[in-house]
Amino acid sequence: MIPINFDNATQVAVTAAGLKRAINYIPQWEGVTAKRNYQHDRERLNFPAFVVQQSEALGAEVAVAKYFRKPIDIDNLNFKQGADVGNNIEVKWTKWQDGSLILTELDRKEDIAILVTGTMPKYYVCGWIPVAIARRPSHQRSDGTWWIGQHDLHPMANFSRSIYANQI
């Protein structure tokens, strides 16, 4: 796991953008969209907690951008139309240090999924896997999602030597 730390200014900027994202995602919070929010389903988040969740998930995207030294537009709301970072990086975040990377049908099969754990100000970039490879029957759950444990992810150190490194 690679630690990524945020300074105070980054935390404030990400949280402000997280609030904007949460407001734009109110239908997801209300449960009226096709894209499910599994943490909300489990914990029945109130709106302030939903804002925190969106801010932390956005923080994970910023952490991956920082790791790859790529620019990121924190106000971008691509709604699965594009990659979170670069051309093909889909960032998945969980607050659980030993949590799994979770994929759905909405995730683009040509992307590389990267798992980030932790919360501001310290995130951990845990590992990566191509979405198309992660979607194997052994990882699929009854709700149609794929859960990939950290032990099944490639270490970040291997990414730069992979065929995917030149595509981001």
Are 129 and 154 in contact by the 8 Å Cβ rule? The answer is yes
Per-residue pLDDT of the chain (168 residues; tens, 9 = 90+): 899 999 999 999 999 999 999 999 898 888 887 666 666 667 788 999 999 999 999 999 999 999 999 988 887 765 556 789 988 999 999 999 999 999 999 899 999 999 999 999 999 999 999 999 999 989 999 988 999 999 999 999 999 888 887 777
pLDDT confidence of residue 165: 78
Structure-token match 């051309």, residue found: 87
Separation CA 11–CA 55 (nearest Å): 9
pLDDT confidence of residue 28: 84
Separation CA 67–CA 83 (nearest Å): 16
pLDDT confidence of residue 77: 62
Write the DSSP symbol of residue 138: G
Q: Which two tokens stand for residue 156?
A: 């970040």
pLDDT confidence of residue 166: 75
- Going by C-alpha positions, the residue among 72, 109, 116, 122 that lies closest to residue 91 is 116
pLDDT confidence of residue 40: 65
Separation CA 149–CA 151 (nearest Å): 5
Longest dimension (CA), the chain: 43
Are 81 and 102 in contact by the 8 Å Cβ rule? The answer is no
